[in-house]
Amino acid sequence: MTAQTSTIPGGDPSLEHELRRLASSPAVTHAAVIPESTPLEDARSQLADVIRLLGYSDGLHAMLATARRELTVAVPLRRDRGDISLFVGHRVQHNFSRGPAKGGLRYSPHVTLDEVRALAMWMTWKCALLDVPYGGAKGGIRIDPRDFSVGELERVTRRYTSEILPIIGPSQDIPAPDIGTDEQTMAWIMDTYSVSVGHTVPGVVTGKPISLGGSLGRSSATSLGVTHVAIKALEHLGRSPRGASAAVQGFGKVGRDAARFLSDAGLNVVAISDQYGAVFAGGGLDVAALAAHVDATGSVVGFPESEPLDAELLLELDVDLLVPAAVEGVIHAENAARVRATVIVEGANGPTSPAADRILADNGVLVVPDILANAGGVLVSYFEWVQANQAYWWTANEVETKLADRMTAAWVNVRDYSAKHGLTLRTAATSMAVERVTEAHRLRGLYP
């Protein structure tokens, strides 16, 4: 798909010029670029940098770089037509030092054990950074949920849950939704677990339907947290959020609501992409109308009052704010030098490779790392778990106020640590998290 010049009345001429520049640039290739590293390599590289910075021992490094427990299971499925398909599922528990493991469950044809290991490690740092009493975990099944009926997905979920039952529970490991899963998936997990123990256990998962003990505000918590941090980052650079330009890569669980919240906060969201393509409007996209278009058609492509844009070029637009909110590794050594955003706020987990981080830092781009930027989801998951354990439910206003307070406090702590030690925000955030996990290790001791 080739980018076209915007013809929208009132469009921003500088952005329209940028769209023309990107479309004609000889440096841009539209073929997919293979990332130079995997998510696990990225996660371990980030940890290694911090271990050296903090002066920790090789033994501690090895402990923190290795998951405490991993379970890989076969997940057979009886299809609606009667034949059997087999899938592979994983659950990785990276750390327990600060509390039970916590992390999402994703259904994707691209799931690998190494990806799940990386995501579990990042979740450990995220929980520690936000001072949530959890360790990190993650799960996944290598399946494309779009190819299966609701009944088939229910059977896959229940069989997977039955296979990992020995290692999950409200005091052991609490799953939550991720790519390809939702509140219905969590309801099936909760029911399967509850039947196995003989009574209802709402706290075994978070991200449940409200009627089954879910928390108000949970579904949009990650997106709202991204918005709070994005506004703080822009203000930190002396830029008013009102009227600032933004591009959002991904229009799923995180990107869709993030675009809405950013627009509501006065930002001009000029470009949005999904897995099928991207759209651009120099005068700003009507996010609500775009969401209705996606609900009706399944994609942002073809949205009226916008111009088509190559999805990869969205990452290179000259905007104040870029929110990569889809998958890992989209900003890498091959394209980082062409990224022109002033601020990047990572809505996805691991969207920026270590090599890209160095290029962006050299170019003066402020990158707010995923373990801070998208931590709103795990914060409200924690709130949901607390409410379930107490059987006492908070109002939406209480949830959103607590979320805003915790995200703002975390931003201030990371910003100040970064300034004090002369570090990037990512290195500062990871250092703070690793220090907290290490302190928990030290206080608990090593058994035996």
Tens-place pLDDT, residues 393-428:
999 999 999 999 999 999 999 999 999 999 999 999
Residue of 138, 208, 232, 253 with catalytic role: 138
Q: Kindly tell me the burial class for residue 132, based on how many C-beta atoms sit within 10 Å of its own C-beta (0-12, 13-18, 19 or more).
A: buried
pTM greater than the 0.95 cutoff = no
Residue 51 contacts by C-beta under 8 Å, 6 or more apart in sequence? Answer: 60, 61, 64, 434
Question: Is the predicted pLDDT of residue 236 greater than 80, yes or no?
Answer: yes
CA dihedral 140, 141, 146, 148 (to 10 degrees): -140
| Domains of the chain, each with CATH number or no CATH | 13-31+221-368 (3.40.50.720), 69-211 (3.40.50.10860)
User: What average pLDDT is seen over the chain?
Assistant: 92
* 68-122 pLDDT per residue, tens: 999 999 999 999 999 999 999 999 999 999 999 999 999 999 999 999 999 999 9
Token pair in block for residue 384: 């949901």
- pLDDT of 148 higher than 50: yes
User: Which 3 state secondary structure label does DSSP give 367?
Assistant: strand
- Distance between CA 361 and CA 364 in Å, rounded? 5
**DSSP 8-state assignment for residue 210:** G
Q: In one letter, which amino acid is 418?
A: S
Mean pLDDT of 270-289: 95
Active site residue 138: yes
Is the model's pLDDT at 21 over the cut of 90?
no
Q: pLDDT for 60-81, tens place per residue?
A: 999 999 999 999 999 999 999 9
Distances in Å between the alpha carbon of 66 and those of 48, 136, 160?
Answer: 12, 12, 24
Over residues 426-443, mean pLDDT: 97
